[in-house]
Amino acid sequence: MKAAVWKGIEQLDIDDIPIPEPKDPRDVQVKVVACGVCATDLHILEGKFPMFKPPRVIGHEFTGVVSAIGTGVTRFKVGDRVAVETGLACDTCYFCRDGREHQCLHRLAHPGGYADYALYPERNVHKLPDGLTFEFAALAEPVACVLHAIDLAKLRSGDVALVLAGGTIGCIMTQLLLHSGASKVLVSEPREHRREVVKAVGGIPVDPKGQDLAAFVKEHTDGLGPEIVFDCLGHPALLEQGIELVQKGGTVFVMGVADPDAVAKVKPFQLFDKEIQIKAAFLRPYMFHRAVRWLPHLTLQPLLGVEYPLAKTKEAIHALRDGKGLKIMVKP
């Protein structure tokens, strides 16, 4: 089969590798239909994501059709439409036994979805609701990540939220915040086409380059600031901005993945004076089944539209860096 194999900084080759066949009784082989491009893929390609080492097949937002199963698989049959949850915890380390499998000390990352086929344990595979498109289903992983963040943020009904960056995560975050009780969601996004999508999914967009963001936020929050700010990009400047804009007693939440070497400047007195909390979310433990349930109820079509064949996976990742579209799809 064909697969996009990451081999180092800016090295991503389309190689011929063996099709992974079920060996364990619980193995499920999936013929990949669509794999979403994530900013993490860009970080990996740039050598700025320390979790993985080359060589490996990347791509962690994918969906497809069950094409073969192990002898012990009971929940799926060949032909089922599924989304795949990547990564597997060891179940034996301290963090796994403490109910924090996403912080597993020995986490296993299977080959990803930039390939014709993928092989995963049955526990990582989720059946799709009837009528849900494969493209929508490929968004299960980012939806799961957002759900984990909202759970940790402890949003209250009626809160005003500010989302910094209106990309895929920002637009999904906007919808789920509104569904979860936020009275309004302000979204700071410099790109015009993304602000249009923000508006389409119910957010109130603002151009931080062409407008006075602080004044805009005060106008929509009776001069108090939002109760919660989400940095959905992972840039140090956005963390600093969130601390400046959040309401006294509020929460600044880091949702985006930053460059591991990036440093933000924080004034400890400001944290003390405003009595704010800074929180963050890592991965999406125990969330995937909830994400799949949510997919039919979200407005996802405006996020889609830019697609690349598997042979152009590297170009697809670069397109994300260049700001083309929101959720770019690679299709084998």
pLDDT one-digit tens code per residue, 223-271: 999 999 999 999 999 999 999 999 999 999 999 988 888 999 999 999 9
Catalytic residue IDs: 40, 43
Digit-coded pLDDT (tens) for 52-73? 789 999 999 999 999 999 999 9
Closest by Cα among 37, 129, 131 to 83: 129
Q: What is the pLDDT of residue 50?
A: 72
Q: Where are the domains of the chain?
A: 2-139+300-331, 143-280
Say how many C-beta atoms besides its own lie within 10 A of residue 231's C-beta. Answer: 27
Whether pLDDT at 76 is above 80: yes
pLDDT-based confidence at residue 217 (cuts at 50, 70, 90): very high
CA angle, corner 40, sides to 187 and 16, nearest 5?
140
Cβ atoms of 29 and 69 within 8 Å: the answer is yes
135 pLDDT band, cuts 50/70/90, is very high
Residue 53: per-residue pLDDT: 84
Q: How high is the pLDDT of residue 52?
A: 78
CATH classification for the domain delimited by 2-139+300-331, as one of 3.90.180.10, 1.10.3720.10, 3.30.590.10, 3.90.1710.10: 3.90.180.10
Checking if the pLDDT of 208 tops 80, the result is yes
The CATH architecture annotation of domain 143-280 reads: 3-Layer(aba) Sandwich (3.40)
Q: What is the pLDDT of residue 260?
A: 85
Q: Residue 1, exposed/middle/buried by CB under 10 A (0-12, 13-18, 19+)?
A: middle
Pairing of strands 228-231, 160-164: parallel
d(CA 33, CA 146) in angstroms, rounded, equals 23
Give the residue, 267 or 47, on which the prediction is more confident. Answer: 267
Q: Is 271 helix (H, G, I), strand (E, B) or coil?
A: helix
